[in-house]
């Protein structure tokens, strides 16, 4: 089963929900015209469908292999990566000063959805490089930017993120890797695990961003610094030179994403890998969070992408798999399973939640552009606050749904879904890492409650609630029609999210543990409510387009129907999370430790 980028829905979400026109009006984005954006999307769709998607299955079956310290990627990966570099795809959102195209992050996010849906095992190398570029661009010295960014932006070199160690998972305060100053550089020693594309054969150099401690650093996260540790030390002319003292010592054997090499990296076995300090000593974790926030949005987009891929395969299977009679007709002749009510329910659930995710993901990416480029500093700050609030929701809610939707895809296939040759199982296996990546989803919920809502007492979230209510006032509804159901869903969502936000803001102040016990239900409620709000916005556009006969009427009708399904079927159980989030604190710690 291949992949076809859903260009019609992508364009709709870009323009009508995320506001591509407003983004293109920001200083520096004037070249993001409709014609240019459409051309980029068309070319990306071709590369994703014809180049990446056919490699996905073999990537899963063959995987990456380690031979004498060299990682060989799956068949076809090195060749398609060269095609990516030649086409300039790595450079899309980056600074033209260093060879980037300076396009909006909104467009780059849309294109990234295609790469990840077509072949997530391949797409991970692009995701990590993007985050490493962002970190060096924000925090590197002028000399570091000049030396590394052009090569990384072109894709000739790739970047990685080296945080985790065997004794320190998410608790980075426990890191033991060391960096000792030696003239204009540092000697870095230590072991890092779970390093995505830490070694591979697709690019001529790999730029590792490594967290380590200097000898006199204090304990805890304040003692962590960030270092650039390249695989090959650059020569004066910018070409890769001497091999650095680092290597991949093993590859992990994983549930999924077999094509993506997950490396155990050893630094300094022969005296110390040469590393270069980024910024100031002791500020490494704050610098790395630039990369992690970039990656968290991208991992959320991976959840959306894998859901889309699973949905396309399930819908295709349902249209062709003949099984049992149509319960709505007397004719006993077997029909394709897409006619059966529960299969239709599953497909509608997949479709509606995917469209809600796409709307919220693109909306968040547009916020990044607004925060970067808006000429009014106060407006940019408020937009950044909203982006900061939304990123843990996008990361966690999208990746949870990616797992659920991939599982539903297996269910629609029935027994054949459990058989590897159909490919449905691969989507589920690949999706399972996403709620763990870049801080588990429990950590995202903790961040949402303990930092983002606590920071302003819920003011930013309540601003979104106000916009939800304002939209409900614009919806033109008649008794019993689609728009009435959609409007009622938006109003119910606004009420539940407002009550939940106020409760969380008060609980964080009174007793943090109580608030954290309900943090995951709160995040789920917030994501589902905000997704419904943006689907309602889509429905309003579709209603107006139908009234003026503007656009494809079948597409616009589907937007209304999907938004109504979401309001009536998806929202009610999610909004019922209000009870669990308020009650969890009473019972989560009620059992003694030894009773588990």
- The answer to whether the beta carbons of residues 483 and 560 sit under 8 Å apart is yes
Contact of 309 with 405, CB cutoff 8 Å: no
Report the distance separating Cα 515 and Cα 589, nearest Å.
13
Q: Catalytic residue, from 165, 281, 438, 498: name it.
A: 438
Q: Write the CB contacts of 510 (distance below 8 Å, at least 6 apart in sequence).
A: none
245-251: long-range pairs with CB below 8 Å, 24+: 245/269, 245/270, 245/271, 245/272, 245/273, 245/274, 246/208, 246/273, 247/69, 247/199, 248/66, 248/69, 248/71, 248/195, 248/198, 248/199, 249/69, 249/191, 250/66, 251/64, 251/65, 251/66, 251/71
| Residues in a beta bridge with 240 | 234
- In a 10 Å sphere around its CB, with 0-12 CB exposed, 13-18 middle and 19+ buried, how is residue 477 labelled? middle
Tell me whether residue 143 is exposed, middle or buried, using C-beta atoms within 10 angstroms of its C-beta: 0 to 12, 13 to 18, 19 or more: exposed
Residues 6+ apart with CB under 8 A from 106: 14, 18, 20, 23, 362, 365, 366, 368, 369
Q: What backbone torsions phi and psi does residue 191 show, to the nearest 5 degrees?
A: -120, 135
Contacts of 225 (CB under 8 A, 6+ apart): 179, 211, 212, 213, 214, 217, 277, 278, 280, 281, 282, 283, 284
- For Cα atoms 491, 494, 498, give the angle at the middle one, nearest 5 degrees: 145
| 8 Å CB contact between 302 and 196 | no
* The pair of three-digit structure tokens given for residue 431, joined into one six-digit string: 């999706």
Integer angstrom CA distances of residue 170 from 173, 249, 294 = 9, 22, 17
Q: Judge residue 367's burial from the number of C-beta atoms within 10 Å of its C-beta, 0-12 exposed, 13-18 middle, 19 or more buried.
A: buried
User: Three-state SS for 99?
Assistant: coil
Q: Calculate the CA dihedral of residues 228, 385, 92, 153 and round it to 10 degrees.
A: -10
Distance, in Å, from the CA atom of 356 to the CA atom of 354, rounded to the nearest integer, reads 5
**CB-CB contact of 112 with 124 (8 Å):** no
Cα(463)–Cα(455) distance, integer angstroms: 14
Query: Which residues touch 202 (CB under 8 Å, ≥6 apart)?
Result: 73, 77, 78, 81, 82, 125, 158
Half-sphere exposure of 145 (CA within 13 A, CB side): 17
Active-site annotation holds for 438 = yes
Alpha helices in 63-205 (DSSP H): 77-87, 105-118, 120-139, 142-154
C-alpha closest to that of 437 among 163, 122, 250: 163
Euclidean distance between CA atoms 13 and 589, whole angstroms: 43
Q: How far, CA to CA in Å, does 510 sit from each of 507, 513, 580?
A: 5, 9, 18
What is the spatial distance between Cα 447 and Cα 121, in angstroms, rounded to a whole number? 28
Retrieve residue 557's tokens: 């009708």
Active site residues: 438
């Amino acid at each position: 089963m291949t992949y076809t980028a859903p260009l019609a829905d992508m364009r709709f979400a870009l323009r009508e929900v995320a506001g591509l026109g407003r983004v293109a009006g920001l200083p520096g984005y004037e070249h993001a015209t409709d014609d240019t954006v459409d051309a980029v999307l068309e070319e990306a769709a071709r590369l994703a469908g014809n180049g990446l998607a056919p490699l996905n299955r073999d990537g899963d079956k063959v995987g990456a292999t380690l031979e004498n310290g060299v990682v060989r990627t799956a068949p076809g990966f090195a060749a398609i990566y060269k095609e990516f570099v030649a086409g300039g795809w790595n450079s899309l959102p980056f600074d033209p000063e260093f060879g980037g195209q300076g396009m909006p992050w909104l467009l780059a996010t849309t294109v990234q959805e295609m790469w990840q849906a077509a072949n997530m095992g391949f797409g991970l190398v692009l995701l990590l490089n993007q985050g490493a570029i962002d970190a060096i661009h924000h925090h590197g010295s002028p000399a570091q930017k000049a030396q590394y960014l052009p090569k990384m932006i072109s894709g000739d070199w790739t970047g990685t993120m080296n945080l985790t160690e065997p004794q320190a998972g998410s608790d980075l305060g426990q890191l033991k890797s060391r960096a000792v100053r030696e003239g204009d550089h540092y000697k870095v020693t230590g072991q890092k695990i779970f390093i995505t594309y830490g070694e591979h054969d697709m690019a001529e150099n790999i730029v590792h961003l490594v967290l380590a401690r200097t000898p006199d650093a204090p304990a805890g996260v304040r003692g962590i610094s960030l270092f650039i540790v390249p695989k090959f030390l650059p020569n004066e002319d910018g070409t890769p030179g001497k091999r650095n003292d680092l290597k991949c010592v093993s590859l992990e054997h994983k549930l999924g994403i077999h094509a993506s090499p997950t490396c155990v990296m050893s630094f300094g076995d022969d005296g110390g890998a040469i590393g270069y300090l980024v910024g100031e000593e002791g500020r490494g974790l704050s610098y790395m969070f630039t990369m992690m926030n970039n990656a968290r949005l991208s991992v959320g987009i991976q959840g959306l992408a894998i859901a889309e891929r699973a949905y396309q395969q399930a819908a295709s299977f349902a249209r062709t798999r003949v099984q049992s009679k149509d319960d709505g007709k007397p004719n006993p002749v077997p029909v394709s399973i897409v006619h059966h009510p529960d299969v239709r329910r599953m497909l509608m659930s997949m479709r509606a939640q995917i469209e809600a995710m796409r709307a919220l993901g693109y909306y968040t990416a547009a916020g990044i552009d607004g925060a970067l480029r808006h000429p009014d500093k106060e407006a940019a700050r408020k937009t950044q606050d909203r982006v900061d609030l939304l990123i843990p929701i996008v990361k966690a809610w999208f990746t949870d749904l990616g797992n659920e939707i991939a599982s539903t895809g297996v269910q629609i296939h029935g027994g054949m879904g459990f058989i590897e040759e159909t490919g449905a199982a691969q989507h589920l296996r690949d999706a399972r890492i996403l709620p763990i990546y870049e801080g588990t989803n429990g950590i995202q919920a903790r961040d949402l409650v303990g930092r983002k809502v606590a920071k302003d007492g819920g003011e930013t979230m309540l601003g979104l609630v106000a916009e939800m209510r304002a939209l409900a006032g614009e919806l033109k509804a008649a008794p019993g029609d689609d728009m009435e159901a959609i409007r009622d869903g938006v109003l119910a969502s606004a009420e539940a999210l407002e009550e939940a936000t106020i409760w969380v803001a008060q609980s964080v102040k009174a007793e943090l543990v109580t608030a954290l016990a309900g943090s995951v239900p709160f995040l789920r409620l917030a994501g589902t409510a905000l997704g419904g709000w943006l689907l309602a916005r889509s429905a309003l556009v579709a209603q107006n387009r139908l009234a003026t006969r503007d656009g494809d009427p079948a597409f616009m009708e589907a937007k209304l129907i999907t938004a109504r399904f979401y309001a009536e079927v998806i929202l009610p159980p999610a909004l019922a999370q209000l009870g669990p989030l308020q009650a969890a604190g009473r019972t989560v710690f009620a059992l003694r430790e030894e009773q588990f």
